[in-house]
Structure 1
């Protein structure tokens, strides 16, 4: 073992709510833990984190700072800013390699790598994303309540989101951005509820200092609005789990059981990486539950082996 190699009970890949809460639980369980995070979380485009009791409204950066301060009480947890690029080994003896040419040994692995946004190729969207355009009404609907909104959704999700967003505002339209035509029965249902549907592709989003003013369609239609909810296209936050053999869905979600176990023994996943719920408090909760599962497995293995 050279100077770049260390032994840990658990290596956690990803330092968002899931990874941090898992680190807290494992630290309190006296496990030797390393959290490896590349400091590129998906939610840093937003100004505030919502729906998290005692932390409602804090920025994602502040959330991490508060979490790091809590975890300082448990010295068996270490952090490093790096990117995991490769992993091999087996349950009880994994080798984790990083972009900084470091190598770490771990008995168990927890992937809390979240997901990444794929480009939507809508001109002007990046300027408003996280400021006046959002993806989750549970996270940001309160701030846009009763405002005039544009919902940019695929035909598959249009009716579902129309029903959902109505709890926050009745003043909204749907844009399918050139996707397939909605079924006639859905168009009739939306019409009965006064929801206008625009099927032409979007030309651009017009804004000023991050605040959306209008959505312009390719047919020249200009839809004024003060906010947007759009359907993101997501991919796995890291390719490493697949390289290790973890089963992954077509949408990039790591398949886990109720304890957060993946299809590879000794490898676990939690948070957005292994769920499609996409709320910070849900990710943290899943991180906590999975950490309990990991700790139980470590303790039971030590008991069975006679290790004190």
Structure 2
């Protein structure tokens, strides 16, 4: 008899787009799948999702609801709303424990836990994140193209981000939030493209229900804006990969091979956990690809055991 409350072929930690995409493929592959999800996706404040073919403009909640319905239509797929607090390997089995104290086991583990945004200490920034403080022009640039925009960044990142956003609107100001660390050549290139550079620190973002109207600087100057592009600091949303000993790269992403395998045999990763490409369609594709590899690995193991 098992020591654990349930045994599965695959446990997927994270039930957003990568996790549910993988669950569907594995369910269709007749695998017993458990998805554990805490219900707090990184894009929960975002009003609309874009660049997802056939679903452009849908809300993240709509996409998640459809994904859950379709993945859970397969009888071997189960979803439990819970936060996974720990995981360990017991011989050939991975055991996960949730915040309720429940434990589950499987021979394969897929980490689709994503990344956590850490925001600068600027009043209004967190409230506007995903609504009018935007991280990706491919997700949100079209909706604000031609409007009065700002970019919050400095140095090499400020130069690259500034010229990227300039493609969507010539009405652009780069806010370095302190002394500029741009090179002389970068400064010249930006100013020649009529990108204003403001070094005065930002005191606050003025907004109404997340829709910003401008920035207040430390010298009390008000800058009217329609949207601000900025990047957050990122960290893993879950400690599970680190607990299991999965290697990470120098910016904290889980290292995988081209098929989603981590450095720990039997542990896979999909979605934002291992990539800076934080788009819904990319996450879904990652989940599908990794699920196919997981199923293939299990088939090879089954035949290998027989041949031996």
TM-score bracket relative to the smaller structure: over 0.9
**Residue of structure 2 equivalent to 1:71:** 71
- Counterpart Cα distance in 2 of 1:159 and 1:8: 49
Superposed counterparts of 1:1-308, under 5 Å: 5-89=5-89, 92-178=92-178, 180-306=180-306
Bigger shift: residues 201-210 or 115-124: 201-210
- Counterpart Cα distance in 2 of 1:53 and 1:24: 19
Deviations, residues 97-154 of structure 1 (Å, cap 9, x unaligned): 1111111110000000000111311111123222222111111111111110111113
SS in 2 for 1:259: coil
Check the 8 A contact 1:37/1:82 in 2, yes or no.
yes
Check the 8 A contact 1:178/1:199 in 2, yes or no.
yes
Residue 2 of structure 1: how far off its partner (Å) = 6.8
Residue 251 of structure 1: how far off its partner (Å) = 2.6
Q: 1:3 to 1:96 in 2, by over 3 A?
A: same
- Counterpart Cα distance in 2 of 1:156 and 1:50: 27
Deviations, residues 159-193 of structure 1 (Å, cap 9, x unaligned): 11122112211111101112652111100111111
Gap regions ≥5 residues in structure 2: none
Residue 272 of structure 1: how far off its partner (Å) = 0.4
RMSD between superposed Cα atoms in Å: 1.6
Bigger shift: residues 49-58 or 27-36: 49-58
SS in 2 for 1:159: helix
SS in 1 for 2:18: helix
Deviations, residues 244-271 of structure 1 (Å, cap 9, x unaligned): 1001124321000001010101000011
Matched residue count = 307
- Counterpart Cα distance in 1 of 2:276 and 2:129: 20
Deviations, residues 33-89 of structure 1 (Å, cap 9, x unaligned): 000000011100111111111111111111111011211331101000001111111
Q: 1:229 to 1:20 in 2, by over 3 A?
A: same
Q: Normalization by structure 1: what TM-score? A: 0.95
Gap regions ≥5 residues in structure 1: none
- Counterpart Cα distance in 2 of 1:208 and 1:68: 32
- Counterpart Cα distance in 2 of 1:78 and 1:179: 52
SS in 2 for 1:121: coil
Runs of 4+ residues deviating >3 angstroms: 1-4
Q: Normalization by structure 2: what TM-score? A: 0.95
Check the 8 A contact 2:137/2:165 in 1, yes or no.
yes
- Counterpart Cα distance in 1 of 2:90 and 2:54: 39
Check the 8 A contact 2:256/2:274 in 1, yes or no.
yes
SS in 1 for 2:302: helix
- Counterpart Cα distance in 2 of 1:220 and 1:209: 22
Bigger shift: residues 261-270 or 176-185: 176-185
- Counterpart Cα distance in 1 of 2:94 and 2:24: 22
- Counterpart Cα distance in 1 of 2:181 and 2:67: 46
Check the 8 A contact 2:214/2:223 in 1, yes or no.
yes
